[in-house]
């Protein structure tokens, strides 16, 4: 277990069981989440015996930097972290407008097997604990604070399917959201899912302020099942019903993600079908030209086709953004660096 796996209440319970006063639990909590402690010397305000007890019982640094890369334009930074225990994951920081958006991982690999995705091509390793998820954010917050800046947004769009690791993802969000600690607003998180319908419904019922993104990529069940095996279990109709349920419960706008693949899902006809499918929903489409991966022979759409796709959606009143492929030169696409490192 690592130190970041505990929430505030768990620290208090633990310290009580160690016969430590509550203010010590508060001191550690503040140290980790307000003062961003990471190195053993940061803990020097705690009594030595307590420090030793913490070190004996917990891992203080659950993620170790393996590779750190900067894109040539300097706007994207990517880190491959080795996890204590097993496996590696990637985290990407994007400077975009005035935002510092962090794209974090929730699993080593992914069980969903989407054919076009480098992480899906790897297969499933294991779930990350809440602390391993949190540690990615704190790492970059420390980097940015040293530059007088902060992480402003966190998207669960790195490796793994966040709703396949639901409890740890939610615990990480709640821990960071705690106003007496890191105090990161729920609205600044976005969870992206390939469409695990029961979890979308559970998430809707919890009515959190966290944003939801759905990876759709096709309006046709046969095609979507080929691209995203999860569709065999939760076909498009079930998925859209769950999305409408979410909208009814939360009134929060949904983002639909669409990787534009040349000749596969980037036609004007497909854009019209998508507009029909999303009719009447409070939503937004994020279209991103496919990031080519070694295990999939599809190509990215052309700029011209991407713009035509966007125009059709907007003609039907559905806002659409074409995302730039950022950090291409550092394999910043989902799972690409980890898979490259594995095969090297
Ligand atoms: N597992 C979650 C979140 C991680 S993937 C999900 O699938 O939603 C984040 C986004 O990147 C998803 O929309 C996913 O479909 C997309 N993606 C994966 N591989 C891609 C690629 N090669 N090119 C473009 N987008 C890709
Ligand atoms: Fe997993 Fe998302 Fe990649 Fe699909 S796109 S394999 S769900 S990480």
Going from the Cα of 206 to the center of ligand 1, the distance in angstroms, rounded, reads 25
Q: Render 187-231 in DSSP notation, one character per residue.
A: GGEEEEES--HHHHHHHHHHT-S-EEEEE---S-HHHHHHH-THH
Which ligand has the shortest distance to the CA of 161?
1
Confidence at residue 97, expressed as pLDDT on a 0 to 100 scale:
77
pTM of the model: 0.95
- Name the CATH code of domain 63-343 (choices 3.30.1330.10, 3.40.50.800, 3.20.20.70, 3.20.20.150): 3.20.20.70
Q: How far is the CA of 116 from the centre of ligand 2 (A)?
A: 9
**Distance in Å, CA 29 to ligand 1 centroid:** 34
Q: Ligand 1: does its nearest atom lie under 6 Å from the Cβ of 218?
A: no
Which ligand 1 atom is the nearest neighbour of the CA of 214? 8
- CATH code for the part of the protein at 3-57: 1.10.150.530
The closest-lying atom of ligand 2 relative to the alpha carbon of residue 228 is 4
Closest CA to 309 of 261, 251, 242, 239: 261
Digitized pLDDT (tens) for each residue of the chain, 344 residues in all: 999 999 999 999 999 999 999 999 999 999 999 999 998 789 899 999 999 999 999 999 999 999 999 988 888 999 999 999 899 999 999 998 789 999 999 999 999 999 999 999 999 999 999 999 999 999 999 999 999 999 999 999 999 999 999 999 999 999 999 999 999 999 999 999 999 999 999 999 999 999 999 999 999 999 999 999 999 999 999 999 999 999 999 999 999 999 999 999 999 999 999 999 999 999 999 999 999 999 999 999 999 999 999 999 999 999 999 987 666 666 656 555 555 554 33
Q: Where in the chain is the domain with CATH 3.20.20.70?
A: 63-343
pLDDT at 154: 98
Q: Burial-class residue 215 by CB neighbours within 10 Å (0-12, 13-18, 19+).
A: buried
Judge if the beta carbon of residue 119 lies within 6 A of ligand 2: yes
Assess whether the C-beta atom of 157 lies below 6 angstroms from ligand 1. Answer: yes
Q: How far does CA 80 lie from the centroid of its chain?
A: 15
Q: Which one of the ligands is nearest to 229 CA?
A: 2
The burial class, CB within 10 Å (0-12 / 13-18 / 19+), for 160 is buried
Residue extent(s) of CATH 1.10.150.530 domains in the chain: 3-57
Q: Give the Å distance between the CA of 270 and the centre of ligand 2.
A: 22
Q: Is the C-beta atom of 114 inside 6 A of ligand 2? A: yes
Task: For a ligand 1 pocket test, name from 210, 261, 334, 340 the mutation site with the most ligand atoms within 8 angstroms of its C-beta.
Answer: 334
The one catalytic residue in 20, 90, 257, 270 is 90
Phi then psi for residue 264, to 5 deg, are: -110, -55
Residue from 160, 166, 233, 259 whose mutation best tests the ligand 2 pocket (most atoms within 8 A of CB): 160
Active-site residue 283, yes or no? no
Q: What is the pLDDT of residue 327?
A: 62
**CA–CA distances in Å: residue 49 to residues 20, 53, 59, 122, 230:** 11, 6, 16, 44, 50
Regarding the beta carbon of 90 and ligand 2, being less than 6 Å apart is answered no
Residue 161 beta carbon below 6 angstroms from any ligand 2 atom? yes
Token pair for 299? 């190509």
Helix, strand and coil in the chain, % to nearest 5: 45, 20, 35
Q: Is 192 in the pocket of ligand 1 (CB under 6 A)?
A: yes
Which of 159, 215, 262 most suits a substitution to test ligand 1, by most atoms within 8 Å of the C-beta?
A: 215
Is residue 334 part of the annotated active site? The answer reads: yes
Q: What is the pLDDT of residue 343?
A: 35
User: For position 157, what pLDDT does the model report?
Assistant: 95
Q: Is the CB of 155 under 6 A from ligand 1?
A: no
Shortest-distance Cα residue to atom 4 of ligand 1: 157
Is residue 112 in contact with ligand 2, taking CB distance under 6 Å?
yes
Report pLDDT for 43: 87
Indicate which residue's Cα is closest to atom 6 of ligand 2: 120
């Amino acid at each position: 277990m690592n130190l970041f796996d505990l929430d505030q209440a768990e620290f208090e319970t633990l310290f009580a069981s160690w016969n430590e006063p509550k203010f010590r639990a508060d001191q550690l909590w503040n140290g980790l989440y307000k003062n961003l402690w990471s190195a053993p010397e940061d803990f020097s305000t705690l009594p030595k015996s307590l420090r030793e007890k913490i070190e004996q019982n917990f891992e203080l640094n659950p993620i170790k930097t393996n590779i750190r890369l900067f894109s040539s334009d300097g706007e994207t930074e990517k880190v491959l972290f080795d996890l204590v225990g097993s496996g590696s994951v990637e985290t990407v920081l994007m400077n975009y407008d005035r935002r510092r958006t962090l794209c974090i991982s929730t699993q080593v690999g992914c069980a969903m097997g989407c054919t076009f995705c480098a992480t899906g091509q790897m297969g499933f390793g294991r779930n990350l604990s809440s602390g391993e998820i949190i540690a990615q954010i704190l790492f970059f917050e420390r980097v940015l604070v040293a530059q007088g800046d902060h992480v402003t947004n966190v998207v669960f769009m790195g490796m793994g399917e966040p709703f396949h690791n639901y409890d740890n993802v939610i615990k990480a969000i709640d821990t960071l959201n705690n106003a007496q600690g890191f105090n990161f607003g729920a609205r600044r998180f976005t969870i992206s899912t390939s469409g695990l319908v029961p979890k979308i419904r559970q998430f809707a019922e919890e009515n959190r302020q966290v944003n939801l993104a759905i990876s759709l990529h096709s309006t046709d069940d046969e095609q979507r099942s080929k691209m995203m095996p999860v569709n065999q279990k939760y076909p498009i109709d079930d998925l859209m019903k769950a999305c409408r349920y979410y909208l009814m419960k939360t009134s929060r706008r949904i983002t639909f993600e669409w990787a534009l693949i040349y000749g596969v899902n980037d036609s004007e006809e497909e854009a019209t079908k998508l507009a029909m499918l999303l009719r009447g929903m409070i939503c937004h489409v994020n279209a991103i030209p496919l990031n080519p991966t070694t295990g999939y022979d599809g190509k990215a759409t052309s700029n011209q086709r991407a713009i035509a796709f966007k125009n059709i959606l907007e003609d039907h009143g559905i806002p659409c953004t074409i995302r730039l492929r950022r950090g291409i030169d550092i394999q910043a696409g989902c799972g690409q660096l980890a898979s490259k490192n594995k095969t090297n």
